[in-house]
Amino acid sequence: MTVNVDHVVEGPEDAPALVFSNSLGTTRQMWGAQAAALSRSFRVVRYDTRGHGGSPVPEGPYSVADLGADVVALLDRLGLERASFCGLSIGGATGIWLGVNAADRFERLVLCCTAAELGPRQQWIERAALVRVDGTAPLADATMDRWFSPEFQEAEPERVKEMREALIATPAEGYAGCCDALRDFDMRAELGEVSVPTLVIAGDDDPVGTPERSHELADGIPEARLEVIAHARHLAAVEQTEAVSDALLEHLKGVTA
């Protein structure tokens, strides 16, 4: 069953639509810089993945198919026949599912810092179990090191603090339910079915959606293009906002409402 995810819409009503999907343990606020840059030319829709931010927190487990169906339901609620989609990490996994299962609703895909399979499976089992008992706070230190380089953590402590607080505020069941989704997610055999023009973005130092995994993703999707962002770990959209925004704008050239 779909949930009515919490969302904001910015930009001209008659502009082409662009949907942003957040990573595990964040909210739509992670896309603030990109929304500011692109809402001049696009109708930007940012939503909180189920279990995160202001969205409902149904009891898990969730599946990536559930997350994708939430996006299609959101498009229907907003009266959008078609949109482009940009997701990071679990948001990117959602984008892969949409590219296979709802390609007729999308003009372009951007899959950022993600992969068609994000194992090992056991890590998601253990993390979900930990969070259901202790919440997300015990994950904070290790997560910041995955998300951001030491240089960014030193240069932008307030931004890192903001992201850390978002992680800690994430509802335990919402986070764990999304861990369950990633536990079972593997679309490597279906990448050839993605028929939407796709850009894959990788952080050059991302320990999760590694450059190697990003190469495999881009190689598996017909005519996909890969762009590797320098000096970026897992949350490349936060660490290198301008480079990611520029890559998005280049990929979305020619999209019309």
Torsion of CA 77, 80, 84, 88, to 10 degrees: 0
Amino acid at 244: V
Residues 6+ apart with CB under 8 A from 169: none
Are 134 and 162 a contacting pair, CB within 8 Å? no
The beta-strand segments (E) located in the chain are 7-10, 17-21, 43-47, 83-88, 106-112, 198-203, 225-229
Domain of 157 in residue numbering reads as 7-251
pLDDT digits (tens, 9 = 90+) for 61-75: 999 999 999 999 999
48 within some domain:
yes
DSSP 3-state of 209: coil
Q: How confident is the model at residue 52 (pLDDT cuts 50, 70, 90)?
A: very high
- Please tell me the predicted confidence (pLDDT) of residue 242: 98
257 within some domain:
no
pLDDT digits (tens, 9 = 90+) for 169-200: 999 999 999 999 999 999 999 999 999 999 99
pLDDT digits (tens, 9 = 90+) for 144-173: 999 999 999 999 999 999 999 999 999 999
**Any idea what the Cα angle at residue 141 is, between residues 140 and 145, rounded to 5°?**
110
- Please tell me the predicted confidence (pLDDT) of residue 256: 81
What is the Cα–Cα distance from 25 to 66, expressed in whole angstroms?
17
pLDDT digits (tens, 9 = 90+) for 87-105: 999 999 999 999 999 999 9
Q: What is the mean pLDDT of the chain?
A: 97
Q: Does position 257 have pLDDT exceeding 80, yes or no? A: no
What is the Cα–Cα distance from 179 to 208, expressed in whole angstroms?
14
Integer CA distances (angstroms), 153 to 114, 162, 204, 237, 239, in order: 22, 12, 17, 15, 9
Q: What percent of the chain has a predicted confidence (pLDDT) above 90? A: 98
Query: In which residue are the tokens 């069941």 written?
Result: 173
Q: Is the peptide bond before 12 cis (omega within 30 degrees of 0)?
A: no
Average confidence (pLDDT) over 76-84: 98
- Please tell me the predicted confidence (pLDDT) of residue 237: 98
Q: How confident is the model at residue 58 (pLDDT cuts 50, 70, 90)?
A: very high
Average confidence (pLDDT) over 32-37: 97
- Please tell me the predicted confidence (pLDDT) of residue 94: 98
pLDDT digits (tens, 9 = 90+) for 103-136: 999 999 999 999 999 999 999 999 999 999 999 9
CATH number assigned to the domain comprising residue 136: 3.40.50.1820
- Please tell me the predicted confidence (pLDDT) of residue 150: 98
| The two structure tokens encoding residue 166 | 């978002």
Are 121 and 183 a contacting pair, CB within 8 Å? yes
Nearest residue to 16 (alpha-carbon basis) of 47, 39, 51, 42 = 42
DSSP 3-state of 55: coil
What's the total number of domains in the chain? 1
Q: What stretch of H or E contains 75? A: helix 64-78
- Please tell me the predicted confidence (pLDDT) of residue 254: 87
Q: Are strands 83-88 and 17-21 parallel, antiparallel or unpaired?
A: parallel
pLDDT digits (tens, 9 = 90+) for 210-249: 999 999 999 999 999 999 999 999 999 999 999 999 999 9
Query: Whole-prediction pTM value?
Result: 0.97
What is the Cα–Cα distance from 167 to 145, expressed in whole angstroms?
13
| The two structure tokens encoding residue 13 | 């009503």
